[in-house]
């Protein structure tokens, strides 16, 4: 099995170093210390579904904001990123955290069935090789382990709004954007079920005036 970058490199015939460079340069454009989008909603969702003493992998941990909250709640958390710059910032802001660089071109250097939960906040929409990524997540989760996801929601009102405005459609699906996947509750549920997850639950969250822009999802790794 290959990691995230391996599938991408075969698909696009790019060297993995070029892919890594893209993510590093992307982080260089982001101001340090920004509050994660929908911070309070996502924080409540996450902390309401893990318990003290559990081992959690925070995939795409960024500057470590959610990982620090998990650590403060008594969770044994490992923060992982595919770029060095966010890890540098996380170590500077949260020296108490255990952090790791997740290689793109090969299997993550993490043991099988070693986590009670995996948290992927605003990550899955950026993933090119979704199949390889989900295989990695499933591999490191214990039997019955929990996958927790947040991603932009494409509810019916939002899809209708995009369909009725050419400008909004082009802005939302800008080919220069780093958002590569676009999920509805149904498509995310079907995807996770295809990859061996059960008890999939999704919630459209956020202010109604914004069309419930956030999709929160929990799913369990199918038991051995």
Domain that holds residue 117: 4-221
**CATH number of the domain that residue 27 is part of:** 3.40.50.150
Of 34 and 142, more confident: 142
Phi, psi of 177 (to 5 degrees): -70, 155
Whether 2 shows a pLDDT value over 70: the answer reads no
Q: How many domains does the chain have?
A: 1
How confident is the model over 157-207, as pLDDT tens digits?
Answer: 787 877 888 887 888 778 877 788 989 999 999 999 999 999 999 999 988
Output the pLDDT for position 133. 94
Whether 45 shows a pLDDT value over 50: the answer reads yes
**All residues at 6 or more sequence positions from 159 whose CB lies less than 8 Å from its CB, including other chains:** 184
Q: How far lies 174's CA from each of 25, 83, 136, 170, 179, in Å? A: 19, 23, 28, 6, 9
Whether 136 shows a pLDDT value over 50: the answer reads yes
Whether 15 shows a pLDDT value over 50: the answer reads no
């Amino acid at each position: 099995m290959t990691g995230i970058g391996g599938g991408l490199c075969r698909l696009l015939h790019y060297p993995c170093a070029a892919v890594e460079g893209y993510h590093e340069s992307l982080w260089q454009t982001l101001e340090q210390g920004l509050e994660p989008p929908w911070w309070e909603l996502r924080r409540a969702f996450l902390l309401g579904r893990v318990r003290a003493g559990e081992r959690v992998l925070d995939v795409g941990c960024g500057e470590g904001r959610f990982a620090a909250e998990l650590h403060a709640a008594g969770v044994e958390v490992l923060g992982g990123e595919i770029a060095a710059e966010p890890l540098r910032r996380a170590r500077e802001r949260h020296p108490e955290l255990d952090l790791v660089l997740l290689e793109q071109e090969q299997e993550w250097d993490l043991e099988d069935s070693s986590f009670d939960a995996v948290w992927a906040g605003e990550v899955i929409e950026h993933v090119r090789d979704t199949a390889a990524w989900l295989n990695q997540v499933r591999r490191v989760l214990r039997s019955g382990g929990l996958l927790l996801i947040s991603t932009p929601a494409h509810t019916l009102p939002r899809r209708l709004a995009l369909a009725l405005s050419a400008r909004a459609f082009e802005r939302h699906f800008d080919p220069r954007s780093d958002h590569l996947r676009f999920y509805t509750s149904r498509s995310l549920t079907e995807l996770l079920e295809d990859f061996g997850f059960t008890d999939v639950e999704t919630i459209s969250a956020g202010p109604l005036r914004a069309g419930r822009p956030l999709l929160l999802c929990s799913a369990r790794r199918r038991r051995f």
